Structure 1
Amino acid sequence: MTILVTGATGLVGRHVVDRLVQAGASVRVLTRTPAKAVFPEHVEVFKGDLLQPSSLVAALEGVEKLLLFPQPETATEVVGLARQAGVRRVVVLSAAAVTLGSDTAYHARVERAVEEAGLEWTHVRPGEFMTNMLPIWGPMIKESRMVRYPFGDDLGAAPIHEADIADVAVVALLEDGHIGKAYTLSGPEQLSVRRQVGAIADALGEEVRYEEVSREEARDVLRAMGGFAAESADLLLGFVDYEGGAGGGDNGYSDQDYSDLMKPLPGYGEATGKDGRTYAQWARDHVEDFR
């Protein structure tokens, strides 16, 4: 049995590959840049791009199971090629926004393509990643051992460790009891910004100060950082919503629905029978990113 992992160099995909190899599976990966990718021994590496479905034909040959990274523009064609090649099971790396109802045209579109193809399917729907703020807070902490950000004591979402998302994807690929299920995932605890910064400080064994600033001040800080921080500032700080409109408007779902998805969700435990990794564990796993 051969399993093809798309998005194999991503935050989740790299963990999926490692776990499948550890489980003794025959693993094949798809990447646009094979020369730059590093994978465990015995992993088959194929060059391809989900945006160019014809480039997947060779990689799909002999594959029975597929981890599908979301690319809605070509999802129907990619899934069609997978079915023609004999793929019988697809695990979709989706998003909690589908459960929420606010995503009907991106991840949901990929999910529909798989379901309509008549293949065995499982949808893995994570919410906020613990690692989302790493490109923002990492440089701040490295430079000054300080985080300047708003929302300090607001109780936020229950972010999830990327390795937990991979755990669910792997059991869905390897075991039969997850067919036809959609798992909405979170971490085990809701956390404020202040508590997250405190966990990073504990992992470092050093003081990391938190300075509360306004959204406007934080936007200036992020824009001055350039790169991802500057590009994401308006979205992260709520000046625009995920559809690109002004933040704070009607987003199509109720406050209660949103509140329910901010709380710890049972999907990880339902899929694995285990407790999810804590933010403190994530901080220890990524401590070198903050030194």
Structure 2
Amino acid sequence: MILVTGATGNVGRNIVRGLLDAGEKVRAVTRDPETAGLPAEVEVLAGDLNRPEGLGPALEGVERVFLFPVFGALDGFLSAAKAAGVQHVVLLSSSAVEFAEPGWIGQAHLDCEASVAASGIGHTFVRAGLFMRNDLGWAGQIASGVVRGAYGTAAAAPVDERDIAAVAVQSLLAAQDGSIHTLTGPESLSQIARVAIISEVIGRPLRFEELSREVALDHLSAQMPPEAASFLLDQLASWQGVTAEVLPTVEQVTGRPAHTYREWVQHHAAEFLAG
């Protein structure tokens, strides 16, 4: 039995599907099973990682776990998992842990990794870079024809959530204690270039309009902790005018190429158009 936490999220849903396609028995834990919307083959149980004392039924008979990084709340879950006989944990982490200055986001993920390593359970860390899905945050601006943000020339190699999930699935199926998979997408693209690709795919004229750091910080701080917003802008500033590193990890682990940004936009075109 494999337990998937965060199963109703963007990565988690793809993990569930991948495990089912591989013929695995899957259990999901979610706060509200009634609204989970997961496939009928999945055993869905109520649970909350912040309340590990109630997770006994979810962990019963579980050998492997996909663990979503709930900051500051993993120790209790890991203790319960260890007691239940869980043999391997695949933790969704961030490539920010490898930065010279991890910042708020990187340190939060480092703390999660430290908790998993200290648990004594076999583990794999899947360190994802910038999610392509973050760009769906632009959807609400599409109708205006202008996407606004700071540091338009900042380049990254964003990764498709389907590829993150595929690497996690392989890590669950072929558990190797101590493995670390750092993921990027297959191409370095500035924010301006990504907006241009969205425009081409959805057939609407779009342009990128530069915002000052101060205005961008105000906007981002309404969506995430101010420390995280500041860290993100610091990273964007450092990525201006450079070519982002592209890693072959997705293809090495899954045996197929990583999805391109254009393929990702095609997959989500309806969401951009609905915005």
The two structures have a TM-score, normalised by structure 2, of 0.87
Show the counterpart of 1:118.
120
Shift, 1:200, TM fit: 0.9
Residues 133-155 of structure 1, C-alpha deviation per residue, up to 9 Å, x if partnerless? 312x10000x3232123323x24
Q: For the Cα contact (< 8 Å) 1:155–1:190, is it kept in 2?
A: no
- Supply the distance in 2 between the matched residues of 1:235 and 1:114 (Cα, whole angstroms): 24
Is the counterpart of residue 144 in structure 1 residue 136 in structure 2? no
Show the counterpart of 1:225.
none
Show the counterpart of 1:277.
259
Shift, 1:39, TM fit: 0.4
Tell me which amino acid in the other structure corresponds to 1:33. Answer: D
- Supply the distance in 1 between the matched residues of 2:225 and 2:82 (Cα, whole angstroms): 40
Shift, 1:217, TM fit: 5.2
Is the counterpart of residue 241 in structure 1 residue 231 in structure 2? yes
- Supply the distance in 2 between the matched residues of 1:174 and 1:263 (Cα, whole angstroms): 28
Residues 59-90 of structure 1, C-alpha deviation per residue, up to 9 Å, x if partnerless? 00011110011124232221111111111011
SS at match of 2:231: coil
Show the counterpart of 1:268.
250
- Supply the distance in 1 between the matched residues of 2:71 and 2:272 (Cα, whole angstroms): 34
Change (3 A) 1:107 1:217: closer
Q: For the Cα contact (< 8 Å) 2:133–2:161, is it kept in 1?
A: yes
In the alignment of these two chains, the number of paired residues is 266
Residues 26-75 of structure 1, C-alpha deviation per residue, up to 9 Å, x if partnerless? 00001111111100121000111111111211100011110011124232
Shift, 1:122, TM fit: 0.6
Change (3 A) 1:200 1:70: same
Tell me which amino acid in the other structure corresponds to 2:192. Answer: R
Is the counterpart of residue 88 in structure 1 residue 84 in structure 2? no
The aligned runs of 1:126-275 (5 Å cut-off) are 126-135=128-137, 137-141=138-142, 143-152=143-152, 154-176=153-175, 178-216=176-214, 218=216, 222=219, 230-232=222-224, 240-241=230-231, 262-275=244-257
Shift, 1:127, TM fit: 1.2
Q: For the Cα contact (< 8 Å) 1:130–1:160, is it kept in 2?
A: yes
In structure 1, stretches of 5+ residues that fail to align are: 223-227
In structure 2, stretches of 5+ residues that fail to align are: none
- Supply the distance in 1 between the matched residues of 2:160 and 2:106 (Cα, whole angstroms): 25
- Supply the distance in 2 between the matched residues of 1:241 and 1:104 (Cα, whole angstroms): 9
Q: For the Cα contact (< 8 Å) 2:126–2:167, is it kept in 1?
A: yes
Show the counterpart of 2:111.
109
Identity %: 41
Q: For the Cα contact (< 8 Å) 2:148–2:210, is it kept in 1?
A: yes
Show the counterpart of 1:76.
75
Q: For the Cα contact (< 8 Å) 1:99–1:184, is it kept in 2?
A: no
Change (3 A) 1:270 1:163: same
Change (3 A) 1:234 1:86: closer
Q: For the Cα contact (< 8 Å) 1:149–1:218, is it kept in 2?
A: yes
Tell me which amino acid in the other structure corresponds to 2:37. Answer: V
Change (3 A) 1:215 1:73: closer
Shift, 1:104, TM fit: 6.5
Q: For the Cα contact (< 8 Å) 2:95–2:106, is it kept in 1?
A: no
Higher mean alpha-carbon deviation, 14-23 vs 165-174, is at: 14-23
Tell me which amino acid in the other structure corresponds to 1:203. Answer: V
Higher mean alpha-carbon deviation, 52-61 vs 267-276, is at: 267-276
Shift, 1:166, TM fit: 0.3
The two structures have a TM-score, normalised by structure 1, of 0.82
Q: For the Cα contact (< 8 Å) 2:49–2:70, is it kept in 1?
A: yes
- Supply the distance in 1 between the matched residues of 2:97 and 2:54 (Cα, whole angstroms): 28
Tell me which amino acid in the other structure corresponds to 1:126. Answer: A
Q: For the Cα contact (< 8 Å) 1:130–1:161, is it kept in 2?
A: yes
Is the counterpart of residue 67 in structure 1 residue 66 in structure 2? yes
